[in-house]
């Protein structure tokens, strides 16, 4: 379980990255906030195995309405990780279970499938 301060994840703002050692030495996940709710995903494009953010924590489009892969421009819905535009259309990001309580976002690493 990883705990992240709720205040560190602003609605439509930068995401917070964290390590996912169960998926490999360099694997990461991220949490973002969209419409006031937090969402966490494995930081890996559904098209090609690359991280989404090209500047650390920058996952949203300029309009703040989609998560975007900086490499190929794939657009994902922030609330469910579904790809709506780009080379992975119809696929999804891998979600990571979380709970927000007491000003903390608790990320359940055991929910990650390899």
In this structure, CATH architecture of domain 2-111:
3-layer Sandwich (2.102)
Model confidence pTM above 0.85: yes
List, for residues 6-27, the tens digit of each pLDDT value.
Answer: 999 999 999 999 999 888 888 9
How many whole angstroms separate alpha carbon 3 and alpha carbon 31?
11
Residue ranges of the domains in the chain? 2-111
Classify strands 98-101 and 95-96 as parallel, antiparallel or unpaired. unpaired
Task: Spell out, as residue ranges, where the chain has pLDDT lower than 50.
Answer: none
How many whole angstroms separate alpha carbon 34 and alpha carbon 99?
15
């Amino acid at each position: 379980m990883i705990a992240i301060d709720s205040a560190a994840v602003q609605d439509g703002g930068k995401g917070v990255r964290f390590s996912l050692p169960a998926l490999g030495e360099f694997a990461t996940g991220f949490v973002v906030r969209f419409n006031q709710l937090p969402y966490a995903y494995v930081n890996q494009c559904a098209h090609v195995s690359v991280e989404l953010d090209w500047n650390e924590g920058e996952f949203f489009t300029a309009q703040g309405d989609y998560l975007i892969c900086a490499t190929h421009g794939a657009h994902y819905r922030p609330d469910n990780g579904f790809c709506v535009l780009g080379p992975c259309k119809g696929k999804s990001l891998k979600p990571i279970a979380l709970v927000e309580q007491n000003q903390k976002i608790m990320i359940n690493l055991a929910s990650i499938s390899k």
